[in-house]
Chains A and B, each alone.
Chain A
Amino acid sequence: MTSRGIWGRYLLPLFVAKLYLFLYVPLIILIVFSFNDNRLGFDWVGFTTRWYVSAWKNQEMWRSLHTSLVVACSSVVLCLSMSTLFVFYGTRSFVRRAMALFYGNLAIPEIVLAVGLMSLFYFFSIPLSISTLIAAHTVLGLGYVVPIVHDRYVELDNRFVEASMDLGATQWQTFRRVVLPLLFPALLTSALLVFIISFDDFVLSFFCSGGSTVTLPMFIFAKIRSGSSPLVSALSTMLLLLSSIVVLLFLALQSRKWGQLR
């Protein structure tokens, strides 16, 4: 690494800095203008926090947030339990062959899945509701979680499981006392991933929830459709803050857990 030339020394870092600017400038402007005391335009009138107050008091927002949280948490529980059971109890050759089924989720555009699910529910005359929404989000999550959990499970030293069985543990005890703790980091990552995917998802929610169930992204979408409003800026800023805290928390938790295992 002696001579890097002008490209390596100056242009590359400059390019990287510019890309970070590209990523963050829109978000920063959004945050700044959420404090602007101007209903319609972009002229800076004065500092205010009233958009935050009105977002906080918006009943519709709280209802949609509640729906989103219920759906996200249910999908996390369903995804994690199903994929762990699948990986642990399925015989190896069966699991390996069945894995191909789960890679499909990433290869299909989401809108195809969305209209497909909608047609399926329509075909069997299942009314669209929060349960159909949970079913849809769970299948989206499975595509990510099964490969993650499977990879981790295959990496595990099989001797742990064998030793546990030799020492007289039942399969369930082995699962609870040996496999589950070893899988924990992978499960934590998957849980966060599924939660975010579900909480973030708009397309599946839009097609599979029927008229009465409104998730938070759907609420924001409707608000944006009817023109920009400072309320959305305030709400977006709060969401930004929330997700940064969650990610930081997650990183801290993860590094501590890994530290312990080492």
Chain B
Amino acid sequence: MKRLANNFLQEIPFLCSMPAIAWQIFFMVAPVGIIFYFSLMRPGFIVTLDHYRGLLHTSYFLIIFRSLLLATLMAFTAFFLAYPVAYFIAMRAKKYKTVLLFFLTLPFWVNFLVQIYAWYFLLERNGLINKLLLTIGIIQEPLMLSSSLFAIFLVMVYCYLPFMIMPLYNMLEKIDPRLLEASSDLGATPWQTFYRVTFPLSLPGVKTGLLLVMIPAFGEFVIPSLLGGGKNMLVGTLISYFFLVARNNASGAAFTCLSALALLLTVILFYAVSRLWVVSKIVERK
């Protein structure tokens, strides 16, 4: 008995490390598992594909496709906006670096909803942009800015920009300036140095940034439900519709699995394409 108690005491440190794992399994792995389970089960513990069959409709695929397209387009737009800024701060800003970084990250700490509201305020039917255009006389009728895909796109770019800039900045900051000097000493033009040295070295940051932006954008719920005006259904809004309005958990679960699969396939595709690109670069050099 005493030995058993001793053995138990010895295991206490190990048990102390367990709560995090248990929490993670119960509140992260189990919920994802249960979605999968709901999507496949019929009352009476029978496996069925009926819920998926019910989703075989063009409009559902259109919604997934539209969300994927929007997320991809948004991620690349954010990338093209973010790269010059990250480059500037990492390479050129010198003593203003801290100040620029502070003002860049500040909107990130501001409540997400405040950012969206600031745009809502501008884009609304009697919002500032419409007011301005009407006064100048460019338009006669107020535009429906706030309930369009463009509004969703714009506000997503705005909200996700810091998530793109930070990984790019972290990667560019680490580049050894001696490499750039060596490149220019060896006769490369600034553009060649950028294309051959700086950009390839920042590629891991590019990948992280694109993923960090694309994944949440794909399932974005708040922005489309405040700015979409209800007609531009996206994956996030449709999932919430299934679960909260239609109360159809099984179809909702099946749709969630389907969209997650679409996202996964897209990410794999991106990865494969980027791999191919790198390989072709290496072959080209030989």
Known contacts being A139-B28, A217-B113, A239-B114, is A112 close to B21, with CB within 8 Å? no
Contact residues in B for A117 (Cβ distance below 8 Å):
27, 31
Shortest CB-to-CB span from A100 to chain B, Å, is 11
Known contacts being A111-B221, A217-B111, A246-B109, is A236 close to B260, with CB within 8 Å? no
Contact residues in A for B19 (Cβ distance below 8 Å):
82, 85-86
In the complex, whether A167 has a CB less than 8 A from a CB of chain B is no
In the complex, whether A4 has a CB less than 8 A from a CB of chain B is yes
Q: How far is the CA of A233 from the CA of B90 in the complex (A)?
A: 35
Q: Which of A10-18, A45-53, A55-63, A181-189 contacts B (4 or more CB under 8 A)?
A: A10-18
Known contacts being A26-B158, A116-B35, is A220 close to B117, with CB within 8 Å? yes
Q: How far is the CA of A89 from the CA of B12 in the complex (A)?
A: 9
| Contacting pair A101 B27 (CB below 8 A) | no
Q: How far is the CA of A43 from the CA of B127 in the complex (A)?
A: 10
B146 nearest in chain A by CB position: A228
| Contacting pair A30 B256 (CB below 8 A) | no
Q: How far is the CA of A204 from the CA of B22 in the complex (A)?
A: 20
| Contacting pair B27 A112 (CB below 8 A) | no
Q: How far is the CA of A258 from the CA of B18 in the complex (A)?
A: 31
| Contacting pair A42 B219 (CB below 8 A) | no
In the complex, whether A200 has a CB less than 8 A from a CB of chain B is yes
Q: How far is the CA of A173 from the CA of B51 in the complex (A)?
A: 56
| Contacting pair A86 B21 (CB below 8 A) | yes
Q: Give how many A residues have a beta carbon under 8 Å from the other chain's beta carbons.
A: 87
Most A Cβ at <10 Å: residue of B109, B158, B221: B109
Known contacts being A85-B16, A119-B35, is A200 close to B111, with CB within 8 Å? yes
In the complex, whether B195 has a CB less than 8 A from a CB of chain A is no
Contact residues in A for B56 (Cβ distance below 8 Å):
none
| Contacting pair A142 B20 (CB below 8 A) | yes
Q: How far is the CA of A209 from the CA of B102 in the complex (A)?
A: 33
| Contacting pair B243 A110 (CB below 8 A) | no
Contact residues in A for B69 (Cβ distance below 8 Å):
none
Q: How far is the CA of A19 from the CA of B78 in the complex (A)?
A: 11
Q: How far is the CA of A22 from the CA of B244 in the complex (A)?
A: 35
B19 nearest in chain A by CB position: A82
B30 nearest in chain A by CB position: A120
Known contacts being A23-B104, A119-B31, is A199 close to B215, with CB within 8 Å? no
Shortest CB-to-CB span from B62 to chain A, Å, is 19
In the complex, whether B8 has a CB less than 8 A from a CB of chain A is no
Contact residues in B for A206 (Cβ distance below 8 Å):
221, 240
- Contact partner of A240 (CB less than 8 A), chosen from B38, B114, B131, is B114
| Contacting pair A220 B85 (CB below 8 A) | no
How large, as a class, is the contact surface on chain B?
Answer: 35 or more
| Contacting pair A42 B17 (CB below 8 A) | no
| Contacting pair A29 B118 (CB below 8 A) | yes
Interface string of A20-49 (1 = CB under 8 A from B): 101110110110010000001111000000
In the complex, whether B278 has a CB less than 8 A from a CB of chain A is no
Shortest CB-to-CB span from A44 to chain B, Å, is 11
Contact residues in B for A135 (Cβ distance below 8 Å):
23, 27
- Contact partner of A247 (CB less than 8 A), chosen from B14, B109, B128, B263, is B109
Contact residues in B for A111 (Cβ distance below 8 Å):
219-221, 235-236, 239-240
| Contacting pair B126 A5 (CB below 8 A) | no
| Contacting pair A110 B122 (CB below 8 A) | no
Contact residues in B for A94 (Cβ distance below 8 Å):
17
Contact residues in B for A5 (Cβ distance below 8 Å):
190
Known contacts being A26-B119, A29-B118, A89-B13, is A228 close to B28, with CB within 8 Å? no
Shortest CB-to-CB span from B23 to chain A, Å, is 6
In the complex, whether A146 has a CB less than 8 A from a CB of chain B is yes
Q: 26 A-B pairs, CB-CB below 8 angstroms?
A: A5-B190, A13-B88, A16-B89, A26-B158, A27-B118, A85-B19, A108-B32, A111-B236, A111-B240, A113-B31, A115-B243, A115-B253, A116-B32, A116-B34, A116-B35, A117-B27, A135-B27, A139-B27, A142-B23, A143-B28, A202-B221, A206-B221, A225-B226, A228-B117, A233-B117, A236-B114
Known: A12-B84, A86-B17, A115-B256. 7 other contacts (CB 8 A): A24-B107, A42-B131, A115-B239, A116-B32, A117-B27, A139-B27, A236-B111
